[in-house]
Every structure is written in C-alpha cells, then in structure tokens.
Chain A
Amino acid sequence: MKIGVVTFPGSNCDYDCYRAVKDGLGAEAVFLWHRDHDLQGVDAVFLPGGFSYGDYLRAGAIAALSPIMREVKAFAAGGGPVAGICNGFQILCEAGLLPGALMRNRALKFRSRPVHLLVERADTAFTSEYETGQVLTVPIAHGEGCYFAEPAVLDGLEANGQVLFRYCTAEGRVEPAANPNGSARGIAGIINAEGNVLGMMPHPERVVDPLLGSTDGLGLFRSVAAHLARV
C-alpha cells in the first residue's frame, strides 16, 4: 500500500501527513509534487493543510488548477480515495470535487485549538475504524473554515449521508457553542456522493501519536488502509 501526499507551494502539513502515514499507519508514503503529472502509482492521495499559493485570490483557488490536480481528479473519478485536510478541503471545493465553499470564520478570528468532532457515520472509507456517535478530539487551525452551501445542497448532503464529522461538545451535542467557525449545520467534514473523496477542516494527522497528546486521528488513516485492503 502506497499513499501520496501532495506538496503545493505553501503546504505546511505535508510532513505531518507523511509521518502519519509512515509512522502512524506503518505504510509507504511518498510526496507528490504539485507541478508533476505523476501520481507514482499511489493507492490513496492526501491533500495537506497549509496556505497553498499564500491563499491568494481565495484559499485553495490557485492550487485547484495546479498540474497534479488533473491527475487527482482522474484518480478520484476512477474511485480512488482522496482526502483533503484543512487547505486540502478548500482545494477540493475549489476544484469542484466537493460541493460548497469554505468562507472566512464567522468571528473573523483564526482558530487554533482542539475541538470535539462527532462521527456521523462509521461505514465509509474514511471512518470505518471509528464508531458512529463517537466523539473525537482533533485540532483545528484555520481562518477560513466556515462551511457554506445553499440549503438545498446541505439537505442533499444530509439526506445522502455525506456529512461525516460535525463540531460538537465533549458530550457529543451539536450546538452553536461548539461550532468554532460558523459552519452551516456544524459541518466539519463531508464526502462526495460516491464516498471516495473526503474534505475536513480539522487535522487528524496531528493526533496520531501519544506523544502528540492524542491518537484520535489515527482511525482515519487506519480506515483508509482498511478500505484499500478490501478493494
């Protein structure tokens, strides 16, 4: 099993992701360069966090048009698992691989702290190692993580079970006080209709070792590995 992590100019969580795959998961990890058209035969792709292209124009807008994204789109169209974390989520929305957009946090503040996440579904390629209703503690670090989509799109996401994570209290209640950025319906992470593309604002790759304070993020990487072992 080989997992690729794309490095864009301005990515800053690519090494965390690489380490989460290599050390946390014990799988082969490779960096994929944004200017290449080669996915090096990987079985899954991670788009890491950071500030690709300095967030110029809109967060993720320029990265969404970089050469490697043509291959990432084809890979996703073929059913390959693609996960975008933080800036990666923004890039996936800008690339049209996920619906909606990430807007400026409602409070206009950059939020950098651990949050609680409710696992909405544990039967997907990204969450099978968790349990439905489980509460995870995972850090966020973003200024533009307020998920927005038209109400009809949000209804569709919910009806199709495409919401994987919501911001919640320590007890697992989804309420405005637990929502760090004003995201619509407390949404922290979604998948596409086919279930093979994930976008999430929180950083599971930062909590994969007891040394980092928590291993709650490891389940996501293990879920992808379990999915790849099945297909």
Chain B
Amino acid sequence: MTDFRVEVRVTPRRGILDPQGSAVQGALRSLGFGGVEEVHVGRLIRFTLSAEDESDAASRVDAMCRQLLANPVTEDYDVRVEALAAA
C-alpha cells in the first residue's frame, strides 16, 4: 500500500448562477482591482489516502466525490493524487 496526498477541488458548475462568486468579484472591483472576471468560489478538500496504487486511489476518490464530496446537480470537481515520499 502507498500513501497518497489527495486534493479535491469542488467548484460551482459552469453556467450556474454563483452569487458568492459575483459578490467577491464586486468586492475586488470596489477595491480597484481591474480586469477581474469569472470569479467563482468553491472549496478545497485535502486528505491522505492509503491505496494500492495511483489508479486505485483515483477511482476511490472519484467514488467519494460522486457520493459525498460534490453535489452532482450543482457542482464540478477535479482531483489531484500524488504519492507521498516513503518515510
């Protein structure tokens, strides 16, 4: 078994109204930051996972995303899996 560092990024699905993103965009503009567009606020979920190999880790994390970490109706996700250096 290998330990992996996993990061799951969950973002509002493209095209769905994201009032939080719009509010942050407005606030950045009011601070004077020009050229800011397409602001979206999501969340980052980070954990370590013990798995057979990278593809085992990736498929388990994908199942976690579908069942819990992301809402399939409103959110998209992407996953990064990286083997931790052996101690």
Residues in A lying within 8 Å of B, measured CB to CB: 57-58, 61, 65, 93-94, 99-101, 103-108, 148-150, 182
Of all chain A residues, the one with the shortest Cβ separation from B41 is A104
Bound: A56/B68 CA distance, A: 12
Determine the chain B residues whose CB is within 8 A of the CB of A182 once the complex forms: 17, 19
Residues of chain B with a CB closer than 8 A to A100's CB: 73
How many residue pairs link A and B with beta carbons under 8 A? The number is 32
User: Contact string, B63-75, partner A, CB cutoff 8 A, digits 1/0?
Assistant: 0000011010110
- Does B19 lie within 8 Å of A107, measured CB to CB? yes
Interface contact A104-B19, CB-CB below 8 Å = yes
Please pick, from B16, B20, B23, B71, the residue contacting A58 in the complex, using a CB distance under 8 A.
B71
Contact of B74 among A105, A107, A108, A148 (CB under 8 A): A148
A134 CB, nearest partner CB in chain B, Å: 30
Query: Inside 8 A of B69's CB, which chain A residues have their CB?
Result: 57
The chain B residue sitting closest to A100, CB to CB, is B73
Nearest Cβ distance between residue A26 and chain B, in whole angstroms? 39
Q: How far in angstroms is the closest Cβ of chain A from B39?
A: 14
Contact B71 A94 (CB under 8 A): yes
Interface size on B, residues (CB 8 A): 10
Q: In the complex, which residues of chain B have a beta carbon less than 8 angstroms from the beta carbon of A150?
A: 73
Given A104-B19, A108-B20, A148-B16, answer yes or no on A65-B73 (Cβ-Cβ < 8 Å). Answer: no
* A61-B73 in contact (CB<8A): no
Q: Could you name 27 residue pairs across A and B whose Cβ atoms are closer than 8 Å?
A: A57-B68, A57-B69, A58-B71, A61-B71, A65-B68, A93-B73, A94-B71, A99-B73, A100-B73, A101-B73, A101-B74, A103-B17, A103-B74, A104-B19, A105-B19, A106-B19, A107-B19, A108-B19, A108-B20, A108-B23, A148-B16, A148-B73, A148-B74, A149-B73, A150-B73, A182-B17, A182-B19
Contact with A along B53-87 (1 / 0, CB 8 A): 00000000000000011010110000000000000
Chain A hits for B71, CB < 8 A: 58, 61, 94, 101
Q: Add 17 more A-B contacts to A101-B74, A148-B74 (CB < 8 A).
A: A58-B71, A61-B71, A94-B71, A99-B73, A100-B73, A103-B16, A103-B17, A103-B74, A104-B20, A105-B19, A106-B19, A107-B19, A108-B19, A108-B23, A148-B73, A150-B73, A182-B19
Chain B residues with CB below 8 A from A57, complex form: 68-69
